[in-house]
Structures are given as structure tokens and as C-alpha cells.
A and B are shown apart, each in its own frame.
Chain A
């Protein structure tokens, strides 16, 4: 069965960086892309970006451009999301999810499998 297992909770100071990992299993990793979605406490979902499991191409929401780096390691079937210059309003649960459209970025993507979420707390 498809599973996405994320790394554990993090506490960071403002200005620091955080990297969240997402280890996939149960499918051929390089067939599908991974998206990152975050949810601030008590708030809705926010799409951050997409990375191809096939060739590492990325598509990043404009709000996060220059501050987010998404990468993959196909040898370990893992995806990573680094967020830099953290601010208090970056405090959120960060989710990875698998795009159900194969290979390439598709504006009609949808996300059938989700990680359990990683709480990132930014506090001085």
C-alpha cells in the first residue's frame, strides 16, 4: 500500500531554516510528483509547490519562491522541503502528498495519498 511518512516535529528560531522529509513506499517513486501543503493553526490549507519524482523539476507557489527548495532522492524514495528565513507565521503543519497525475506537472493534479504531517513551530 502507498505510504508517505514524514519527519518529526521541529522547533526553530526566527530566521532559521527547516527541512521536512517525506519518505514514500508502496509505489514506483519516479512515476509521480510530490506536493507540499501547509496548514497554520486553525487555518485552511495552502499549496506550496510540486516536485517531480521523475526528473526533479519543480513548480513553486509565488509566495514561497526564493524561500523554499524542494528536492528528491530517488535512491531512497524521499522528498524534501526546505523553508528558509523562518518567521512566526510559518508555524504550521506541513504535509506532503502524492500527485495522482504521473510524471509531469499537470494543472489538473489531485492528491490521493498524504503524509501524516509535520508540525513546525517558529518561536523565539
Chain B
């Protein structure tokens, strides 16, 4: 069972906005930076967001990140069919073993 909880799936129409939640506890999300990764089918993950809300160069501003307390959120606006992918949150966790942990992943479907 992943330490970080994400909804298994979300869906929205092209052009709409969707949010993906990542729920943790005080020893992970609340105390550390959160990153988000996109994984298109059959490919390696790609960094979308780091340090809770910062975008690497080349990532469009349609992607945004936020954090409040023990939860983090990835927002994707102006949805495109090419955004269909799995999305993972990730952070440092000290609840059991001091190590980096990923959420279980969320499958985004663009209807």
C-alpha cells in the first residue's frame, strides 16, 4: 500500500481543467517538498513539478502544483488528448523508513 494516496483515476473533457490529489501525513508531505511526474504509456516518467510548485524549463504553464498541510495537488488546465497518462506524486518520508516514496499513481483520461 503506497504511503501517499492518489485517486486511481480522473477524467475530464478536452479544454477543461482537472486536479489530482496526493494525500500524506505530517512525516512526508507536510514536512517536505513534493514532486510530480507524468508517465505516458510505454515511456519513462517525466518531471512536471518540483519543490511543490516549480516547473522545469519546457513544461507548459498549464501544469501547476500546490501544497497545503498534508496534501498536495497537481492541476492541469486546457486539457489535451496528449495529456492522457499516469501521474505520480513523490516526496521524502520518515514515517517508517527514511526514504523517498511515490504515490500509487492516477490515470488521467481525456474524454
Contact = CB atoms under 8 A, between A and B. Distances in A.
Given A47-B99, A61-B97, A61-B99, A111 B47 contact: yes
Interface string B10-54: 000000000000000000000011010101000011110011000
Interface in A24-79: 35, 37, 44-47, 59, 61-63
A107 B46 contact: no
Contact of B100 (A109, A115, A116): A109
A17 interface: no
B101 interface: yes
A63 to B, nearest CB: 8
Contacts of A109: 100
Contacts of B47: 100, 110-112
A51 B93 CA distance: 18
Given A95-B44, A112-B56, A115-B44, A44 B99 contact: no
Interface string B66-107: 000000000000000000000010101000011111111100
B35 A110 contact: yes
Q: From DSSP, what is the main secondary structure of chain B's interface residues?
A: strand
B54 to A, nearest CB: 9
Given A45-B37, A112-B47, A114-B44, A107 B92 contact: yes
A44 B87 CA distance: 10
B99 A45 contact: no
A111 B37 CA distance: 9
Given A110-B50, A112-B56, A45 B102 contact: yes
Interface of A: 35, 37, 44-47, 59, 61-63, 95, 97, 100, 107-112, 114-117
23 contacts: A37-B45, A44-B105, A45-B37, A45-B39, A45-B88, A45-B102, A47-B100, A61-B100, A62-B97, A95-B45, A107-B92, A108-B92, A109-B100, A110-B33, A110-B51, A110-B90, A111-B35, A111-B37, A111-B47, A112-B47, A112-B50, A114-B44, A114-B46
What are the 10 closest A-B residue pairs judged by CB atoms, nearest first?
A114-B44, A110-B50, A62-B97, A107-B92, A47-B100, A45-B102, A44-B105, A110-B35, A108-B33, A61-B99
